[in-house]
Amino acid sequence: MTRISAIGVVLAWVGVAGAEVRIEEVEYRGWSGCFRISNRQAELIYVPKIGRIMRFARQGSANVLWENVGLSGSTPFRTKPGQWVNYGGDKIWPAPQSLWGWPPDPMLDGAPYPAHIEGQTLVITGQASEKSGVRFTRRITLDANRPIVKIENQMFNTASVNQELALWQITQVDNPDIVTVPIEVTKEMPNGWEPYDNQSIDGKFATVKNGVLEVHRNTRGGFKLGSASRKGILTAKFGKTTFSTSVKKLPGKYVDGGKFLEVYASGDPLKYVELELTGPLKTLKPGEHATQTVTWKLEN
């Protein structure tokens, strides 16, 4: 059972025409000082100590986000060289990955991201990384009536030189029955989608049906693919519940050969699928920022 315990502090309570959004401080899976944003239909939990959104669900229902429960309550963001601590949930990185290789910068992934409340919005402020020369902020707003969340991501260039970068939101969902990806045939992508690094993907796990790519996890090994579709939406289905993450595709050049929508399906034992949305590359002068607005939705 998911461990959520309120500590008796409602930090914000916004009523809108018979509806309400509550933001309160809770303990979640051993982490203190977490924020729970809820309305009558859904809830979202953000964990500042690891800088990730760790739960999004309908009230009383299973989490659609994957959680690495073996790391619950831990905060080992000062990792050993070459080590990545994968908590699960949702995070943002700078793109392209070729600029930083692997693993992710621990100051951007796993470090504390404090938060405060502005009206009915939770505002998250990340730390500036000397290594990467960027800092992230996020603004999370839950609709007063529906299970819909708007997430506004911003990436600031904190370096002393210009940098060409893109925002990259990665949402790990918990072992979905199926993930769907819109496809778009182009000269550069004649099948409408492409695997990464010339991977060979078994057709049982990535099949086009009625103009949409259907993706299933291969328990024997992970794989990654992408699409350049302008529709800008990825969906994951869990029984009768559908989770979607979407973003408007803006003009500009995109990383990874234009793969604007990206999916990584893990193999066992970590049973998750990453739904990844990238923004266009933008040359940022020192102090400038790029913005990406993502919408989450739950449907039955």
pLDDT at position 15, please?
A: 55
Contacts of 112 by beta carbon, 8 Å cutoff, 6+ apart: 48, 49, 50, 51, 75, 77, 127
Contacts of 89 by beta carbon, 8 Å cutoff, 6+ apart: 47, 52, 53, 54, 55, 65, 66, 67, 171, 172
Q: Which two tokens stand for residue 40?
A: 């009558």
Q: Of 3, 45, 41, 53, which is closest to residue 25 (Cα–Cα)? A: 45
Task: Read off φ and ψ for residue 263, nearest 5 degrees.
Answer: -135, 130
Query: 91-104 pLDDT, tens per residue?
Result: 999 999 998 989 99
Query: 230-278 pLDDT, tens per residue?
Result: 999 999 999 999 999 999 999 999 999 899 999 999 999 999 999 999 9
DSSP for 87-136? -BSEEEEEE-GGGT-SS--TTTTTS---EEEETTEEEEEPPPPTTT-EEE
* Distance separating alpha carbons of residues 38 and 59, to the nearest angstrom: 8
**Residue 13 binned pLDDT confidence (cut-offs 50, 70, 90):** low
Residue 118: strand pairing partners: 121
Would you list the domain boundaries of the chain?
82-300
181, 218, 224, 258 from 207: Cα distances, Å:
10, 13, 14, 20
Do the Cβ atoms of 95 and 168 come closer than 8 Å? yes
pTM of the shown model: 0.93
For the domain made up of 82-300, the CATH class stated in words is mainly beta
Task: Read off φ and ψ for residue 284, nearest 5 degrees.
Answer: -105, 125
